[in-house]
Amino acid sequence: MSKDSVKGNSVNSADYIKGLPFDYIETYSHQRGEEYNAVIQILKPERHNLKVRKEKSNNLTDTEEIRLSELDAPLGLTQYLIDSTGRFHFSSQRINTFQHGNETISLLKNILLKKTTNVNNWICAPVYRDAIVFYKSYGEIVSVLNICLSCESMALDSSNQVKADSSTYEMLRQFFKEIGHPVES
């Protein structure tokens, strides 16, 4: 991706995909399903209790401080498939793998190449439930595209957004459904 294609930590989807050298992709689903919801319902109260104790009394043990940090990572507002330490989200499930040249990758490229003319700016916080990881042939991650179909948002990480036309998200929704993602309607 050229420096000229990125402005203000934002790039349009066509420039993103055109400048991305990769050999294969893996698609992931995360932050959804009954098992995920059950785990979250157990972790949230534990995190809440530790946060309240820290704010009111500031008497957490070193072990409790570490646990609070561990709980902040998966329970923070916006979650990405891969965190800043390189770990995949605990709820991530790999759905598919496609080699470069596969017609599914051609379809994905065509979706992302759609000219960006109408961008919706929803006020909601994105919940990235679908993601595409782009790899080199030897397994090195080139890029991770986190996608929220609800708020029509894509991000590489917390400071790099990918802008796309509003119609791109409906095409991505259909794409993910066709390759087996449990996408909500």
Confidence (pLDDT) at 128 = 94
User: Could you identify the residue written with the tokens 């009111």?
Assistant: 56
| pTM of the full structure | 0.84
Q: Which domain holds residue 20?
A: 3-30+80-178
Low-confidence ranges of the chain (pLDDT < 50): 1-8
Number of domains in the chain: 2
Confidence (pLDDT) at 5 = 39
Alpha helices in 76-137 (DSSP H): 103-112
Q: How far is CA 113 from the centre of its chain?
A: 19
Confidence (pLDDT) at 167 = 92
Q: Do 26 and 69 share a structural domain?
A: no
Q: Do 118 and 45 share a structural domain?
A: no
Q: Is residue 146 part of a domain?
A: yes
Q: Do 167 and 86 share a structural domain?
A: yes
Q: Do 39 and 54 share a structural domain?
A: yes
Show Cβ contacts of residue 90 under 8 Å, excluding neighbours closer than 6 positions.
Answer: 39, 74
Q: Do 149 and 99 share a structural domain?
A: yes
DSSP structural state of residue 77: S
Q: Are 94 and 80 in contact (CB under 8 A)?
A: no
Task: Count CB-CB contacts under 10 A for residue 124.
Answer: 10
Confidence (pLDDT) at 185 = 54
Confidence (pLDDT) at 1 = 41
